[in-house]
Amino acid sequence: MSGPSSASDTPITDPRQLAEVLASGEKPREAWRIGTEHEKFGFRLDDLRPPTFDGERGIEALLKGLTRFGWAPYEESVDGAPARVIALTKDMASVTLEPAGQLELSGAPVETLHDTCKEVGGHLREVREVAEELQLGFLGMGFQPKWRRDEMPWMPKGRYRIMRDYMPKVGGLGLDMMTRTCTVQVNLDYASEADMVKKFRVSLALQPVATALFADSPFTDGQPNGYLSYRSHIWTDTDPDRTGMLDFVFEDGFGYERYVDYLLDVPMYFSHREGRYVDASGKSFRKFLKGELDVLPGALPTLRDWNDHMTTAFPEVRLKKYLEMRGADSGPWNRICALPAFWVGLLYDDAALDAAWDLVRDFTMAERNALRDQVPRLALNTPFRGGTLLDLAREALKIAHAGLRRRARADRCGVDESGFIDTLLEIAEAGQTPAERKLELFHGAWSGSVDPVFREFAY
C-alpha cells in the first residue's frame, strides 16, 4: 500500500481535472517503462514469528540498516508521537511497509526486464545482509502460512489505523488482507486513451490466468485452507465497494471519465493534511468536491487527495497514471521477474496485444466473473469452455513469449527477455501450481508441518 502522495496541493476546482490526471499518464512507446512491486513476510529465525516494529530485531531496525546502501529514510509521526522511520527512498524506488510489517519494494520505472530483475536481485541481497545481522529471514508467498491474525504486529502508520477500524464494517477478511497477504505486481504504461482501454480489457480478462499461475497461498494457521490462492479469495470478502472485475470496463464508451465516475463512488478512507491523516472513512469524494465533507468543512480536495484516493480502490487491475496488474501471489525471485515478463510480453508488443485481445474479446461477463470466482480454489483446474484454465494459460503464455521475442531487448550478453517467462512455462507444462507443490510437501516430507517453508523457500 502506498504512503502519502507526492502530487501537488493544487485544489480541484473542476471535475475535469480528475480525468486529466489519468490522461497525463499517456506516453509515447519509447517512454514506456516497467515498474515492479513485490511484498514479502519477515520472520525471526529462532521462533519464526513476524518481527514487531520496535526492538533491536524489529522492522525499524531493518529499515535503518538498509540506509547503508544509500536509501534515504522517510519518517512519520502518529498522534504526536516521536517520528519513526516507516519507509525508504532512492532513485525513484521506495521500500515501504504493509500493515503487519510486510516489506515492499516499489521498483523504479525501468526500460527492460533485465533492469527490473537486476533491481529485485540487488534489493534482496541488501535485505538479506541486514536481516542476517538481526537474525531475521524473509519469505515470498501469497498468505502468511503459520500465524493467526491476532498474532500479527501492526505498523505505526496513520492510514493503517483508519483502515483497521473501517475494514470490519464492510467485509469479513479485510484485516487478513492487511496483515497476512503479499503480492507481486507490475505497473505498465499506455500511449492513449484507446490504448489504455484495450490493455485494461485484456489484462482484466486474463488476470485469473496470472492468479492461477502464481497461486501460492494454500495454508492458514498452519493447515491447508482448501484454496490454492487464498490471497485471491481474501479480496472477495474485503470491501465490495472497491474490489472486483469492473464489468463496466468492457462497456462501449469506457474511458478516463467512466473510471473517474467509478472512483468517485468508492468511499474515502482519509485525507492527508498538514502531516496528519484525517479520518474520512466511508465518506463521499463527490461531497468533498463540493466542499461538503463534514470532517473538513468547506475544504476542497487537492490533487494530492485525488492521487491518494486512487490508491484506495483495489480492483483486479487498477488505473492510475499507468495500469497495475494486481492478481498474483508473491513468490521467489524468479516469479517476481516472471510476473512483469508475462504482462510486458502481452501488452508491450502490438502483435501480442492484438492476439491477446482476439483470445478474450468474446468472453462474456458471466465467464469472466466465473473464472475470477473459481480460480482461488481451483487455479489452473478451473473449468472453462469444455476444458480448463490451464488451456487458456498455455495460449496466453505462448502469446506473451512471442511478444518478448519480438521486443528483442537484449542484455550485454545478447540474451533477450523471453527467458524470464520460463518459470511460468514450466508451471503450465507440469500443470502444477506452486501451492500444489507445497501441499505435496506438507502431506509428505514435511509431515504435516508448515515450518519447513520458512527454511526451504526463504529468500
Q: Which three cell numbers stand for residue 297?
A: 468543512
Sign of CA dihedral 424, 242, 205, 384: positive
171-203: per-residue pLDDT in tens? 999 999 999 999 999 999 999 999 999 999 999
- Residue 7: band (very low, low, confident or very high) from pLDDT cuts 50, 70, 90: low
359 Cβ neighbours under 8 A, 6+ residues apart: 206, 392, 395, 396, 399
347-350 long-range Cβ contacts below 8 angstroms, 24+ apart: 347/188, 347/199, 347/202, 347/203, 347/323, 348/32, 348/188, 348/403, 348/407, 349/402, 349/403, 349/404, 349/406, 349/407
pLDDT for 1: 45
- Tell me how far apart the alpha carbons of residues 412 and 128 are, in angstroms, rounded to a whole number: 27
Residues composing the chain: 459
Q: Which residues contact 153 (CB under 8 A, 6 or more apart)?
A: 50, 51, 52, 53, 100, 101
185, 301 Cβ separation under 8 angstroms:
no
427, 210 contact by CB (below 8 A): no
Q: How far apart are CA 73 and CA 109, in angstroms?
A: 20
For the chain, the average pLDDT equals 96
Neighbours of 163 (CB within 10 A): 23
pLDDT tens, position by position, 62-104: 999 999 999 999 999 987 889 999 999 999 999 999 999 999 9
pTM of the model: 0.96
For the chain, list the domains and their CATH numbers: 16-456 (3.30.590.20)
- Mean pLDDT on 32-38: 98
* Model confidence at 214: pLDDT above 90: yes
Q: What's the CA gap between 449 and 453, in Å, rounded? A: 9
340: three-class secondary structure by DSSP: helix
Cβ distance 32 to 348 under 8 Å? yes
Place of cell 465497494: 241
What cell numbers appear for 41 in the block?
513476510
What letter represents residue 83's amino acid? A
* 110: helix, strand or coil: strand
Per-residue pLDDT averaged across 99-124, rounded?
98
Q: What is the pLDDT of residues 402-443, one digit of tens each?
A: 999 999 999 999 999 999 999 999 999 999 999 999 999 999
Q: How confident is the model at residue 4 (pLDDT cuts 50, 70, 90)?
A: very low
Q: What is the pLDDT of residue 422?
A: 98
Q: Where are the beta strands (DSSP E) in 46-182?
A: 72-76, 84-90, 93-97, 103-106, 136-139
Reading the block at residue 420, the C-alpha cell is 524470464
CA atoms of 198 and 109, how far apart (whole Å): 22
